Amino acid sequence: MAHPRETVLHRWFEEVWNQGSEAAIDELMNDDAIVHGIAGPDGKEIMGAAGFKPFFHQFRTAFPDMRITIEDTLVDGDKIAVRCTVKARHTGPGVMGAPTGKSASFSGMCIARIKDGRIVEGWNNFDFLSLYQQLGMQLN
């Protein structure tokens, strides 16, 4: 049987990212959550569900067919860590500029601190360099 904290992050990747459910963001992330490793338009860490939604919409617009597969899960106290693989095709505008039509596959890791069944803090580390390279984008 899955650990309750494990279930929260598995639901997060399945419902938020794979199914594109904005309602799941509100259900699974605290309003005052801190999201490390992903910056908002101001270059600062994202704060809360409301602060996360613009990033979510931009990324899902750029990669509407995104599929995230969790490869490994570790639970330690109030934290859960997952290693995952992201597969997507860049068919829409958004965080990556004009659509390239190219497919990409890259890996990432996420650690989330869970309280009362909701994400209250998250640390993200995804191989965006590999994503940019696969899309043929130049880094300045």
Domain ranges of the chain: 4-134
Distances (CA, A) of 2 to 5, 73, 90, 131: 8, 10, 33, 31
Residue 6: predicted pLDDT:
67
From CA 49, how far away is CA 22, in angstroms rounded?
Answer: 9
Contact 6, 75 (CB under 8 A): yes
**How high is the pLDDT of residue 51?**
93
| Topology given in CATH for the domain delimited by 4-134 | Nuclear Transport Factor 2; Chain: A, (3.10.450)
pLDDT at 23: 97
The answer to whether the CB of 82 falls within 8 A of the CB of 107 is no
Rg of the chain, C-alpha, whole Å: 15
Instruction: Give whole-number Cα distances, 4 to 10, 11, 23, 26, in Å.
Output: 10, 11, 20, 18
**pLDDT (0 to 100) of residue 66:** 95
Mean pLDDT of 84-104: 90
Residue 97 has pLDDT above 60, yes or no: yes
